[in-house]
Structures are given as structure tokens and as C-alpha cells.
Structure 1
Amino acid sequence: MSVRVALGVTGAIACYKACSLVRLMVREGWEVRVAATPRALDFVGEITWRTLSQHPVETDAFAARPDWHPLHIELAQWCDLFVVAPCSANTMAKLAHGLADNLLTQAALACTKPLVLAPAMNGAMWANPATQANAEALKARGARILDPEAGELACGVTGTGRLPEPEALFEALRRIAGERA
């Protein structure tokens, strides 16, 4: 089954795991287009995403290009799944409250296809009542939340907030994509 995935990547150290996720999806024959927040590119550079996805990395809905079109709308209509992995607390809050200040949030809010979020953050941030309320609000609107795992976090503490391993994420996405078939 060929699946078109708009993969939103946010400013979280777990971006490095999303690289392996892209490889798994492409290897399976899925088409992946990456929409990166500016902070995401601080963790993993544009050339890495472009090489792994075999598509340009999208960062700006209104960037000057010869074939200008509203990119956030095009990306939202193109995909079969809109996945945000890793999804930072900041991006989750923006989506929960309808804020659209970058290409990723603009496209996600314009998308009528399944929205799948894989949060990754410090355990205290994940446990914060505001973050939990944002996750619940998104679930109530139909978003799928792939809960973070417990373990050692990048900040050196142990807690719940780790992005699941790429293979586990891919299996979850495969199940969700299969529900649409």
C-alpha cells in the first residue's frame, strides 16, 4: 500500500529518531514530505531530511518560488496522513488552540486527513496539566496521540517523555493507514 505522509518535525532532540522513521516509510514505498519548524532544523539539518525523504524540505508556506501556490493547503490536501513526530509541547499547544504561525501548524490545521502526534519532551512537561489538557483536546477532535515512552530522557532524568522507537512508530502508522484502506 502506498501512503503519502506529511511529516511535521519540531524542535526537539528526538528529531534524530524521526530520520530513521523516514527511512522506514520510504523503504516501505511510502512517499514522505517533511515540513520542519525552524527549531527542528537546529537539531537535524535540511540536507538530511531532503536526502532521506527524496523531497525538498518545506519550512515556509509563503516562500517565493516560481510555481507559487498556497503550500500549506497543497500539503494538507496531498497527504493521506499528517504525522508530527517529534511533537514538542509548543507545537501541541499551538494545534490544540488553533494557532497557525508556521508551515507545520498551518498545514496541520488545514488538513482533513488523520492527524497523528508523537509527543516528545521532558517528563515534567508531558505531565503538566496544561500539556495533558492540550492532548485531551486534540484527541477529542480526532487526533491520534502516540503516547511517549518512559525511560532516560535527553536531559539526563528518567521519566515519561521519550519518543517511541522508529519501528514502533512505523507499526502504529501502518495500522492507522490500514484503517483508511
Structure 2
Amino acid sequence: MKTILLGVSGSISAYKSADIANQLVKLGYNVEVIMTQSSTEFITPLTLQSLSKNYVHTDVMQENFPDKINHIELAKKADLFLVAPATANIIGKLANGLADDLLTTVAMALKEEVPKLIAPAMNTYMYQNPVNQRNLNWLREVGYKEIDPREALLACGDFGKGALANIPDILDEVTQALHESKE
């Protein structure tokens, strides 16, 4: 069974991570969820634990087993790394090698061959910001694949590109990336 690490960052779209986790489990994947602290303000770890059937990881300093280092063990399990939703903040951290929470620490510990997908979700002006675009371009250069956000009426009331991709599109990208990684 393939293991997908699902990173959830602090966007209003975090509630959609429940459906993503649920659909991935139904497709037969083992889903390990890693939440940033801000994402827990939008959706509870218990929701994602119930759907993924796994403990939800939230704290970089929580080490449940004295003989294992949690962020290294999670990275070693990964057949695919997906951040959905990916905020401008988490994109900036990933692009600049910052590892100050569990999600970014695990990302830094991933093997190069592990497929890495990010699904941005943010205000259209944040998405279009040249700094965010530079960060996305850098992540593409180092092996991340962006799952393009949709153009829609956003939670803030603005209309534009920045809404989380449709869940079927995310699932298709995951399936395709896992298939390509086998070749």
C-alpha cells in the first residue's frame, strides 16, 4: 500500500483536506496527515484522523517513540508528498528551505525521488505576487509539481485565480505522479 503524506496548511480551503484524505483512503492509499498549527484553526486533527484512520501529526517536537525521530520516519514512509492547501506562507518556507514546523521539516527530509505536489490556495493577488511566483518557480525547478489553482469567487470576495484545485483534479495528479514514479 502506497503512503501519501498530506500536508495541510492554514487556508480557508483546509476543510477540503478532509475530502482529499477520505478520497485517497477510498482509493486504497495509506494517508498520513501533517497539519500546520494555523490549519488546526480551520479544521480539527480529529476530523482528519477519523478519515485517514491514522494519527494526525501537528507538532515537530512530539516524539512518540524514543528510538525514532518522527519527521525522519514520516519522510521515509512517503511514496508521495502532497500539500493541499498550500498557502503563500508554506510555499515560501518550502522554497527557502525553512524547517520550523513539522510539515516543513518533513519536506526537508524527503528523498529526492519522492514525488512532491503542491496545490496553492490563496487570494488572487497573493497568488500573483511576484515573490510567490518566484517561490513557485523555484519549487518547480527543484522537483515540485504545482496543481494549478482555479479561477473563482474567493472567500475574501475577490474573483480570480487562487481557489484550491478541484478535488478530482488533485486526485488525478496524485495518481499520475505515483504512476510516473514507478517507471
TM-score band w.r.t. shorter chain: over 0.9
For 1:3-152, what aligned pairs fall within 5 Å after superposition? 3-67=2-66, 69-112=68-111, 113-152=114-153
Is 144-153 or 66-75 further displaced after alignment? 66-75
TM-score by length of 2: 0.95
Q: Structure 1: how far apart are the matches of 2:171 and 2:180?
A: 14
For residues 86-126 of structure 1, the C-alpha deviation after alignment (integer angstroms, 9 at most, x for no partner) is 00000000000000000000001110111111010000000
Gaps of 5+ in 1: none
Change (3 A) 1:88 1:68: farther
| Paired AA for residue 133 in structure 1 | R
**Residues 85 and 117, structure 1, Cα contact 8 Å, conserved in 2:** yes
Percent identity over the alignment?
37
Aligned residues: 180
Q: Structure 2: how far apart are the matches of 1:14 and 1:73?
A: 27
The answer for the alignment partner of 2:169 in structure 1 is 168
TM-score by length of 1: 0.96
Gaps of 5+ in 2: none
Q: Structure 2: how far apart are the matches of 1:64 and 1:147?
A: 35
For residues 141-162 of structure 1, the C-alpha deviation after alignment (integer angstroms, 9 at most, x for no partner) is 0111111110111111111000
Shift of 1:17: 1.3
Is 56-65 or 86-95 further displaced after alignment? 56-65
